[in-house]
Structure 1
Amino acid sequence: MLFQNEKLTVRQLEEKDSSLLAKWLSDPEVLEFYEGRDNPFDLEKVQNKFFASAGQTSMCMVEYVGKEIGYIQFYELDADTKKKYGIYTENTYGTDQFIGETDYWNKGIGTLLISSMVSYLIEHKKASRIVMDPQTQNTRAITCYEKCGFKKVKLLPNHEFHEGKYQDCWLMEFSRLSISSKRKEGESS
């Protein structure tokens, strides 16, 4: 287990999770913003994407009250990505995630997941900055990220090839520095 917060648990991805990933990543509602409805997964594709070449990405399952409901991954940004985003600080992490069980959408679980992952990355990975790049039309995800303290910092035109065309995305960032400055503001009032 990576961490637990209230009813939420995040643990390392295991081979036994393949069928759940294939189920979620063949659901058009999930694929609308993650991978694309024209890009459904079967077990072979899950194996190739999630288990054949993990690299530096930490891939995790999300459980809520003991039931697997989604996926989250995190990784330290490489130099090329940081340069592309205009980020020059060390310990910058990115995350990607989805809740695959659609019955768990719009219940605050995504907000709990993101805020818990932010805390984990700051405390255990010493992240100074955490970024995401949701598609501009994914308003549900953007609202969730903003509730967790992320700010839109840069429009990324034609950033992600999705469902046959390039989509604009927002670079969204959570900065550890903003936590420090908020604390200082609170102390001086």
Structure 2
Amino acid sequence: MLFQNGKLKVRKLKETDKYLLAKWLSDPSVLEFYEGRDNPFDVDKVNKVFYASEEDEIKCIVEFEGNEIGYIQFYQLDDKIKKEYGYLDENIYGTDQFIGEIEYWNKGIGTFLVTSMVKYLVEHKQADRVVMDPQTRNTRALKCYEKCGFKRIKILPKHEFHEGEYQDCWLIEYTPHHA
């Protein structure tokens, strides 16, 4: 387990989680903002994207009250991305997440997950900032992230190819208040 905060647990991805990811990433409600409804996943695609990838993300499953409900990944931004976003030599982490079990939506669990992950990154990875790049049209996610202390920094025009067209995204950041 990576960390626990009350009823919320975040643990690293296991081989058997591929079936959960395939279930969640074939649900049009989940895909509307994560990967795209025109891009459903089966187990083979999950294996290629989540298990065969050489990328440096730490991929995790989210559990709430003992139930596996979602996915979160975090990663340290490389110099190329930091430059693209306008950052200097800081320790910056990014996250991506979704709640795959839609009956857990709109219950404050996403806010609890994001605040818990930010706390983990600041305390255990010494993150100077935590950033995300949600699509500008994803108002529900943006409200969640703003409740967690993220601020909108700038629009990233045509940043993400989603459902056949490039979408504008917000660069949002959380900056911890150092004493």
Please indicate, yes or no, whether the TM-score normalized by the shorter chain is above 0.5: yes
Query: Which structure has greater helix proportion?
Result: 1
Q: Is the 8 A contact 1:13 1:60 kept in 2?
A: yes
Aligned length: 179
Structure 1 counterpart SS, 2:70: strand
Structure 1 letter corresponding to 2:27: D
The answer for unaligned runs of 5 or more in structure 2 is none
Structure 2 counterpart SS, 1:149: coil
The answer for unaligned runs of 5 or more in structure 1 is 184-189
Q: TM-score of the superposition, structure 2-length normalised?
A: 0.98
Structure 1 outlier segments of 4+, above 2 Å: none
**In the alignment, which residue of structure 2 is the partner of 1:129?**
129
Q: Identity, % of aligned pairs?
A: 68
The alpha-carbon deviation at position 7 of structure 1 amounts to: 0.6
**In the alignment, which residue of structure 2 is the partner of 1:109?**
109
Q: TM-score of the superposition, structure 1-length normalised?
A: 0.93
**In the alignment, which residue of structure 1 is the partner of 2:156?**
156
The alpha-carbon deviation at position 140 of structure 1 amounts to: 0.5
C-alpha distance in 1 between matches for 2:166 and 2:47 = 26
Summarize deviations over 1:53-103 as a string: whole Å, max 9, x none.
243110000000010000000000011100000011421000000000000
Equivalent residues in 2 for 1:46-57 (5 A)? 46-57=46-57
Let me know the Cα RMSD of the aligned residues.
Answer: 0.8
C-alpha distance in 2 between matches for 1:150 and 1:102 = 23
The alpha-carbon deviation at position 6 of structure 1 amounts to: 1.3
Query: Could you say which structure has the larger radius of gyration?
Result: 1
C-alpha distance in 2 between matches for 1:125 and 1:71 = 20
